[in-house]
Structure 1
């Protein structure tokens, strides 16, 4: 058994992960962090509200306690578009507002969670596995199509932060594993504007949740960062 922490718990895939864990009674305790309140449906579930500013992340992290010394973490935060910006098709569409917004959501917030979880893990845990939601378009070597400047760059930056954090996690926690996870095209609000013209298979959040849980459970704590897709296939950094 293990403890589980889900950050960005109100997203569709995160919700599916939590529902699977609750129904399977697969963990000793489940901690959910989200921007808005979550109705707790089980006695071993605890929820926290966080606005994802650094003071708020630090405060929530300081309140975390776990029933088990084995911890699994899912960092599901991220964004692709809003009412004010959309993925750029060409360089002329690039704006400072979109870049800063995407970097904050996709790179800064997950990195701050890694920062504040590290001292907790090094003092209180025997092992920790952290899966952070990245994207295949964050692969620098795989970029043959161009476009989506801000989103690509924010996910590539996240991947670099994951690789860099993995070095310090290994130094301070012998049993650790960080995973950059590409969920594939999933039926969520994030992908909704692109579903009609996508050539990819559209997955359900439940399917992706099952794959994410399987990957994190069966990946060894080797102290290295991995970059994989929903089928646990390696993606080139």
Structure 2
């Protein structure tokens, strides 16, 4: 299965949030493919990640590690300059950025637990950072078939919200979905071969979900490698005709 619909060359790819969990698994699987030219592995600690260091020893110059905190535009500006000096375009960008319970963000159970610091932290990482990543990489996505995919979450679906709770996380993922939908319209006008996707990877055994894993049935708690495989399959199966849509790991659409 091809990585990107109608892409005839080996792909330049970028994973943001690459140092652990799903992001690291995505880097590993992309580097194992013959149709991938190089992988830009971006995270706050890309050059200090043991997992990325192991991949670098195995794949050499095909893996380019870049330290970047996507919550800050100066870092994103520097990232874009770095990539632009290396290649003319990107064919695939995947954002795995997300926060649920790292202070000051928290998984609130009731209104009384809400505070401004938690709301701001959730929105900065879950909503603002992915769309600002797209903003700054935008010039590199205007040529050839290209896909920008960001990890959202089913709990960001407004119509699917039946349990309540997790105010900041739910709202910030819903905001991400709207931002991606809006960006897909603009990008398609400039590059009809572009695709923007919101993807729900399922509950995955990562640091983000760790405090809540005891409540997840074993068959519904996925390994990062499985989640990464599902994400790449979704990207391969959804091209420009699906731009601006929201999909779950099992290939089912998610209602807004």
Indicate the TM-score class for this superposition, using the shorter chain for normalisation. over 0.9
Q: Which of 6, 14, 34 is the matching residue for 1:5?
A: 14
**Of Structure 1 and Structure 2, which has the larger fraction of its residues in helix?**
2
Q: Distance in 2 between matches of 1:11 and 1:141?
A: 31
Secondary structure in 2 matching 1:110: helix
Match of 1:115 in 2: 135
Determine the structure 2 residue equivalent to 1:184. Answer: 202
Q: TM-score, normalised by structure 1?
A: 0.93
Determine the structure 2 residue equivalent to 1:74: 94
Identify unmatched segments of 5+ residues in structure 2.
Answer: 1-9, 48-52
- 1:169 is matched with 187
The answer to whether 1:57 aligns with 2:66 is no
Number of aligned pairs? 235
Uncovered stretches (5+) of structure 1, i.e. residues with no partner = none
**Mapped partners of 1:51, 1:86: distance in 2:** 20
Q: Does 1:33 align with 2:42?
A: yes
Output one character per residue of 1:177-232: Cα deviation in whole Å (capped at 9) or x when no partner: 11101111100010010011224710000001111111112212226211011111
The RMSD of aligned alpha carbons is: 1.7
CA deviations on 1:118-162 (whole Å, 9 max, x unpaired) are 22222xx21210110100010111111111101000000000000
Which residue matches 2:227?
A: 208
